[in-house]
Amino acid sequence: MTKIILATTSPYRIEIFRVLGIDFEVKGSNVDESQVERNNPEELVKSLSKLKAEVVVTNHSDAIVIGMDSVGLFNGQIFEKPKSREEAFQRLKSLSGTTHQFYTGIYMINTGLKKVISKVVKTKVFMRNLSDREINKYLDEDPHFNTYALGYDPVKHYSASFVKRIEGSYYNLLGGMPLEVIIEMLPKVGYK
């Protein structure tokens, strides 16, 4: 059977992918993400997921490599990983009581069959009003806030209460791993 390789080192994506019960390996891509233009969130995640998959695929002749990347979009501004606590605080403050979008690009390559498929998944996120105290409580509890494209974790921490509702993929927001889309894509790229 063709092996599956996730082109990621994200512990959240790895943990979520395990839910599928499919054997897989993990290979980090270590790509320079700064080389991709940041004008359009859909094009950005599509380009970065492709770049990550293509870097990993070079070492494997019979595998399905899955590259992924996620960003947020709010008021026309693309949000990637916050670089500091202050940036995460300001971002959450600006998102308080508003709606934003969360995009994940998925790019699959079956090296044996020479098949490629890609998709962009968009989830609309409705945030409740947040107090400064709540935001600080979350940032105090979670020193790894910078690992999230939008600066909060929608499941495991106090910040799970930040989201009122979503439209779209729950697993996309959970960790940039829209399982329901991935499981539909795998047969199309030749996984049995």
pLDDT tens digit sequence for 27-52: 988 888 888 888 899 999 999 999 99
CA distance 127 to 161: 9
Neighbours of 39 (CB within 10 A): 8
In the residue annotation, 23 being an active-site residue is answered as: no
Backbone angles phi, psi at 177, to 5 degrees: -135, 75
Asked whether the predicted pLDDT for residue 149 surpasses 80, the reply is: no
pLDDT band at 184 (very low <50, low <70, confident <90, very high): very high
Helix (H, G, I), strand (E, B) or coil at 175: helix
Percentage, residues of the chain above pLDDT 90: 59
Say what the pLDDT of residue 154 is. 63
Whether the full predicted model's pTM is greater than 0.85, yes or no, is yes
Helix (H) or strand (E) holding 166: strand 163-167
CA distance 137 to 28: 32
Angle CA(73)–CA(189)–CA(175) in degrees, nearest 5? 35
Asked whether the predicted pLDDT for residue 153 surpasses 80, the reply is: no
What is each CA distance from 41 to 4, 94, 97, 147, 172, in whole angstroms? Answer: 26, 19, 22, 18, 15
Q: What is the mean pLDDT of the chain?
A: 89
Q: Give the residue extent of every domain in the chain.
A: 3-188
Neighbours of 34 (CB within 10 A): 6
- Pick the catalytic residue: 62, 69, 132, 153? 69
Say what the pLDDT of residue 94 is. 92
Q: In CATH, what number does 3-188 get?
A: 3.90.950.10
